Amino acid sequence: MQNEVPPRLEMTGITKQFPGVLANDDVSFAIKRGEIHALLGENGAGKSTLVKMIYGIMRPDAGEMFWDGAPLKARNPKEARRLGIGMVFQHFSLFEALTVLENIALGMDGGLSSRALEARVREVLKAYKLTLDPHRVVSTLSVGERQRIEIVRALLLNPKLLIMDEPTSVLTPQEVTQLFKTLRQLASEGCSILYISHKLNEIKELCDTATILRGGKVVDECDPSKETSKSMAEKMIGGDLKAVAKGAERQFGEVQLAVRGLSLGRGHDFGTALKDISFSVHSGEIFGIAGVAGNGQNELLAALSGEQHAKADGVIELCGKPVGTSEPSTRRKAGLCAVPEERHGHAAVPDYSLANNGILTARHRRELVRSGLIKHSASHDFADEIIAEFGVMATGSKATAGSLSGGNLQKFIMGREILQTPEVLVISQPTWGVDAGAAAFIHQALVDMAQAGSAIVIISQDLDELLALSDTLSVINEGVLSAPMDVENASIEEIGLLMGGVHGETADSAKTLPTKPEAEHAVQV
């Protein structure tokens, strides 16, 4: 049957050259109707470039694309959308100051009145069981909610081909299941899906075919269900993938970080208040905090790093000393380093060189500043040291942080903190948008660091990551932290249920940790 029908999208010999880089080199593959097709590859393998060419943002230097058998001539995204190509971007192309509805309206071509559009949006939200308030301003939304806007925006167009770039990194397991149900339903209706993800087990579960890119070339096309995650990862990176090695016999030392009854008001209108959070982390321990975005993670990180002060000094103790109301730099000096989720502008200044970005957090612990003057060569040596030890792909210590790819910048930031050997490291989303090779590297570095005696707090939405790394795990939901559990004994289902009370849906579940029946209700969002 499918042999008679031309593929939905066929690419032959696509080549795209950038100054200094051959982003796509003779790429050919086809996506059938109703097929869920995975596009796999490390950061910089050329996936984004390829997708941008399909979506009409860029044009190939050579090669041809066919849409339902006819040459694809989308000169810009508008034309691509008219043909039925929808796209959910990895870096959300959202407008912070505008409302959800306005954002969606911008992505639609054609004069639908705002009332009619809102009705359609609510229809789609209902059909796919997504929660989103159309009138909220985007800047007040969590990352997960922002992604939902992109998804709704794409679904509204009744696409024939839906391109999804890293769609699940911010979802709970239940939400992922829901999304997969949605995608399968779409596929069964004949919509083809081009699915880009680093999560190989998801690709195994969801996708019919996978095309693997490396260095701009197609290196393999396979059936994910017949592969293992490891075999696909190795095709992707073109080498062996080492599993994270947790030391078998690890001893925890003294309590390095103790938090007792941390409560914090909502920072802004749509922030999450922290309610009576208590936990402690020992030397050598990795403490994981799971939860859906927007449940107080950012507030907790700010309270730990010192960007927000606790009500009393004794609420947070670092190595036995109260630091609840100290400034971030004081805490750093005392041994607590923190890495926020947002890399650009929070963890690093994009327009600064790597050397200067190193100075920003490591000036005291690495003595890069003396009597108010920057030690020029020491700062460059430090940046070079990070680049070398953490395998950061950068032109050198003078490269700006913004010129690095997401994964490489994350490696640099991680390296900058780890090389300061803090007693306590608090880190949010260590491997967000980072490819498998780099993620494995960062994971190993964190484990090694714990082995060397640091106490580590990892705040992440990636449950697989937390299960692989942490010794102890808690779930944050609506600003309440669940009782810590031993990772060995924790079940994914239980954690998922704890994560489940999605934003504004069940105020009750925030007060008492959800008991089973209540929680089951809560996840049906």
Partner 1 sequence: MSTTLLIAMLITMIGASTPILLAALGELVVEKSGVLNLGIEGMMLTGAVVGFAVAYTTGSPWLGIGMAALVGAAVSMIFAFLTLSLSANQVATGLALTIFGTGFSALFGSEYTGKPLELFKSVFPAGLAEDPYLRLIFGHSPLVYFSFFMVFAVWWFLSRTRAGLILRAVGENDISAHSIGYSVIRIRYGAVAFGGAMAGIGGACFPLLLTPQWVEGLTAGRGWIALALVVFAAWRPLRLLAGAYLFGLIATVELYTQAAGGVFRIIPTELWASLPYLATIGVLVLISLGRSTNANAPACLGKPFEAGH
* Residues contributing to the site for partner 1 (CB under 8 A): 56-57, 76-78, 81, 89, 93-98, 102, 105-107, 111, 139
Minimum distance, C-beta of residue 79 to partner 1, in the bound complex (Å): 8
Q: Which residue number, 111 or 372, has a Cβ lying nearer to partner 1?
A: 111
- Phi, then psi, of 18 in degrees rounded to 5: -110, 160
- Phi, then psi, of 522 in degrees rounded to 5: -65, -30
Q: Which residue number, 94 or 125, has a Cβ lying nearer to partner 1?
A: 94
Minimum distance, C-beta of residue 105 to partner 1, in the bound complex (Å): 6
Q: Which residue number, 51 or 348, has a Cβ lying nearer to partner 1?
A: 51
Minimum distance, C-beta of residue 403 to partner 1, in the bound complex (Å): 12
Minimum distance, C-beta of residue 107 to partner 1, in the bound complex (Å): 6
What is the CB-side half-sphere exposure of residue 429 using CA atoms within 13 A?
21
Closest by alpha carbon to 278, among 261, 301, 302? 261
- Residue 136 and residue 318: Cα distance in Å, rounded? 38
Minimum distance, C-beta of residue 81 to partner 1, in the bound complex (Å): 8
Q: What is the Cα 30 distance to its own chain's centre?
A: 28
Single-letter amino acid, residue 164: M
Q: Which residue number, 344 or 521, has a Cβ lying nearer to partner 1?
A: 344
Compute the residue count for the chain: 525
Closest by alpha carbon to 163, among 174, 155, 173, 171? 155
- Residue 50 and residue 15: Cα distance in Å, rounded? 9
For residue 338, the cross-strand partners are 426
Q: Which residue number, 106 or 245, has a Cβ lying nearer to partner 1?
A: 106
Minimum distance, C-beta of residue 489 to partner 1, in the bound complex (Å): 45
- Residue 352 and residue 338: Cα distance in Å, rounded? 19
| Strands of the sheet with 9-18, listed across from one edge | 21-31, 9-18, 62-67, 70-71
Q: Which residue number, 57 or 485, has a Cβ lying nearer to partner 1?
A: 57
Minimum distance, C-beta of residue 404 to partner 1, in the bound complex (Å): 15
Minimum distance, C-beta of residue 110 to partner 1, in the bound complex (Å): 10
- Residue 36 and residue 363: Cα distance in Å, rounded? 49
Instruction: Report residue 297 as tokens.
Output: 């993670």
Q: Which residue number, 79 or 313, has a Cβ lying nearer to partner 1?
A: 79
Minimum distance, C-beta of residue 505 to partner 1, in the bound complex (Å): 26
Instruction: Report residue 503 as tokens.
Output: 């934003």
Q: Which residue number, 102 or 505, has a Cβ lying nearer to partner 1?
A: 102
DSSP single-letter state for residue 307: S
- Phi, then psi, of 312 in degrees rounded to 5: -130, 155
- Residue 259 and residue 279: Cα distance in Å, rounded? 5
Minimum distance, C-beta of residue 67 to partner 1, in the bound complex (Å): 17
Minimum distance, C-beta of residue 8 to partner 1, in the bound complex (Å): 21
Q: Which residue number, 79 or 384, has a Cβ lying nearer to partner 1?
A: 79
Single-letter amino acid, residue 319: C
Q: Which residue number, 5 or 106, has a Cβ lying nearer to partner 1?
A: 106
Residues 6+ apart with CB under 8 A from 102: 95
Minimum distance, C-beta of residue 111 to partner 1, in the bound complex (Å): 7
Instruction: Report residue 298 as tokens.
Output: 């950012």
- Residue 382 and residue 384: Cα distance in Å, rounded? 5
For residue 257, the cross-strand partners are 281, 318
Single-letter amino acid, residue 283: S
Assign 270 to helix, strand or coil.
coil
- Residue 458 and residue 73: Cα distance in Å, rounded? 46
Q: Which residue number, 78 or 230, has a Cβ lying nearer to partner 1?
A: 78
Q: Which residue number, 74 or 337, has a Cβ lying nearer to partner 1?
A: 74
